[in-house]
Chain A
Amino acid sequence: MSQSVLARPVPPATRPYALRPAWVLLPLAAVLLWVWAPPTPRLRDDVQDVVTLAVSVLVESLPFVVAGIVISVVVQLWVPAAALVRLLPRRAWARRAVLSLLGVLFPVCECGNVPLARGLMARGLSVPESMTFLLAAPILNPITVVVTYQAFGFGDGILVARVLGAFVIANGVGALLARHPDPSRLMTSQFRQACDRHEHPHGPRVLAALPMVLREAGSLLPALLVGALVAGVIQVAVSRDLLLTLGQNPVWSVLALMALAFVIAICSTVDAFFVLGFGSTFTPGAVAAFLVMGAMVDVKMVALLRTTFTTATLAVVTGLVVLSTLVLGLGMNLV
């Protein structure tokens, strides 16, 4: 599920494999299947709950993923690479700092940012830069900030911790990745090859855009499915009560809500309202850790990022985010 999607159409002579025109009947087949769905036996309660939770994650993220894919393809085909480079500062740290604020322009949840980041990387953005964008944008965007403010105001410093924490962690992780001797090796080989082979589209760009949308969907949707399924399974398998009994301990509460943030995989733009329900039982540091970490890495996000980055890269990034979030949460509770 991690093949490239960004390569351009090439002349027909070099295309031994294409799709037969009969594939156009596919949407019709899907509609017919829905209309004439045969009755199914009732599933076991826990299996049904996994299905319900996974489908709800899917339905919820689909608009953001599709929007991200469309924006990504538009960026690749219509925005000149030179324009992108000209707009950004020259110094590496300043570039990353600006990119970490790019979420202001694209206020979508974390899953919509993945296709956008892939498009930007095909346009020459480096791995550390795109990772900084991916980690920061879900939090440093107007919707998330306003919703977090509505939920918590400036109480307990949660909003400030979330915004500053996201900026510092995203830029810190970016700076560390930039020290890698060859950051392009942090990408999967397929995605790197796709970025290297950057040809100009033949024919009208609109016609080139449509297969690119399908390829990107073929890369990202399976990852989203896996992420949604894992989120559903964990939620049914792991008792929520167990996590909630840890609420008031200054150390365990932080770890408990970080674990919840990783498995629950909800959108960064609304997680503040969700965790508000825990606000009375959990420590402020735990709530801030939930809000910072959940937006950066969770099971769904890791599955999506695996389409683009190597497993080792993701392990390092996840580790760094977990440790820095832990420091942030414990710092708020103990200092």
Chain B
Amino acid sequence: MSDPGTGTRSDARLLWSGAALLTVLCVATLGLAATGRLTLYIHPRYVTLSVVTGVVGLLLATLGLVVVGREHGSEQHAHEHEHDDEHEHEQVGTGHHHDDVQHRPESAGPPLEPGDRLRSIGRGALVAVVAVVVLVVPPTTLSAALRSDRGLVTTGRALGDAPAEPLVGADTSSYTVRDWAALAQQGPDAVAGQPVSVVGYVLDRGEGDVFWVARLTVSCCAVDAQPVGVAVHRPGWRRELKTDAWVSVRGTFVDAGDLPDSAQHSVVVEPTEVTTVPEPKDPYVF
């Protein structure tokens, strides 16, 4: 086991890898926030917290490197002629590679511990992989395959609070699939007769004349994404629509009691218009 004390190789490794990982994650967070894509990963309520963390973390990493570098400088001065270890220190390259690490030859200074070089290379590789994944690979949404593996949420507070204002005369144009799903679970009385216009993806729940227009709802981060949706009555929909395709649905809520095959829903949308649309830039609902 390596000596964990300060001034050792393993200590230097902790310092540079800590600074590098903190920097990379904070720059990625700030970059995502600056381009409005942070909500592809987390709920909007955490955006401010993440941005503050990004700024603070970046400051801590930079100032920390300044302090550590100054200590190195003063020590370098004091030991200039004792042993020239200028070239044996772990170094950062001038480019983007954070794993650009050099090692003291085994003949000089304290003996190189077994596995030491391997640990440094491992850490460097970890930093490089993380940097590529969070800084280079563009963020995207969860795939259709993953969406269909998550069960549709049809009841409970996971749907969120139903919009508070009375529906009669209210402006429902901004209501999402989630808002309507929350209202629809209150039964036909709450929404029957309401005009509705929503965008979501087509979810097939094995009902003959009914498909669901659904979206993923995120309560904390993309890990907990769950689909919510409303039922749409469209006989023969399989001939015109593909499962997982994004669609815009306009229509009116009706009591599903009159329809056959209505075990899973009490209201359905009777659509006047179903058109395929491109995937929205903000595919999740919160």
Contact = CB atoms under 8 A, between A and B. Distances in A.
Interface string A280-318: 110000000000000000000000000000000000000
Interface in A1-59: 1, 3-5, 7-10, 12-27, 29-34, 37-38, 40, 43, 45-46, 48-49, 51-59
A270 interface: yes
Nearest to A215: B14
A215 B156 contact: no
A15 B17 contact: no
A58 B25 contact: yes
B134 interface: yes
A214 B61 contact: yes
Contacts of A215: 11, 14-15, 18
Contacts of A182: none
A13 B14 contact: no
Given A17-B7, A29-B96, A58-B25, A9 B136 contact: no
A136 B102 CA distance: 44
Given A53-B223, A190-B4, A33 B92 contact: no
Assign chain B's interface to a size class. 35 or more
B220 A60 contact: yes
B274 interface: no
A63 B68 contact: no
B61 A27 contact: yes
Contacts of B138: 37, 40
Nearest to B90: A19
B137 to A, nearest CB: 5
A20 B17 contact: no
Nearest to B60: A213
Contact of B146 (A34, A236, A267): A236
Given A18-B68, A19-B69, A27-B62, A63 B31 contact: no
B5 interface: yes
A19 B96 contact: no
A219 B157 contact: no
B75 A62 contact: no
B163 interface: no
Interface centre among B1, B24, B25, B141 (most CB of A within 10 A): B25
Contact of A63 (B7, B9, B46, B89): B46
B220 A21 contact: no
A5 B22 CA distance: 15
- Interface on chain A toward B: helix, strand, loop, or mixed SS? helix
B242 to A, nearest CB: 16
A204 B20 CA distance: 24
Contacts of B78: 12-13
Interface in B126-165: 126, 130-131, 133-146, 149-151, 153-158
Interface stretch (A84-92, A137-145, A239-247, A250-258): A239-247
A270 B218 CA distance: 11
Interface of B: 1-29, 31-32, 38, 40-42, 46, 49-50, 52-53, 56-58, 60-75, 78-79, 85, 89-92, 94-96, 98, 109-110, 123, 126, 130-131, 133-146, 149-151, 153-158, 219-224, 226
**Top 6 nearest A-B pairs by Cβ distance?**
A218-B18, A21-B69, A15-B7, A4-B4, A217-B18, A218-B14
Interface of A: 1, 3-5, 7-10, 12-27, 29-34, 37-38, 40, 43, 45-46, 48-49, 51-60, 62-63, 66-67, 70, 150-151, 189-191, 193-194, 197, 207, 210-211, 213-219, 221-222, 225, 231-232, 235-236, 239-241, 244, 264-267, 270-271, 273-274, 276-277, 279-281
Given A214-B60, A264-B224, 8 more contacts: A20-B72, A43-B137, A51-B137, A52-B140, A52-B142, A193-B3, A193-B5, A213-B60
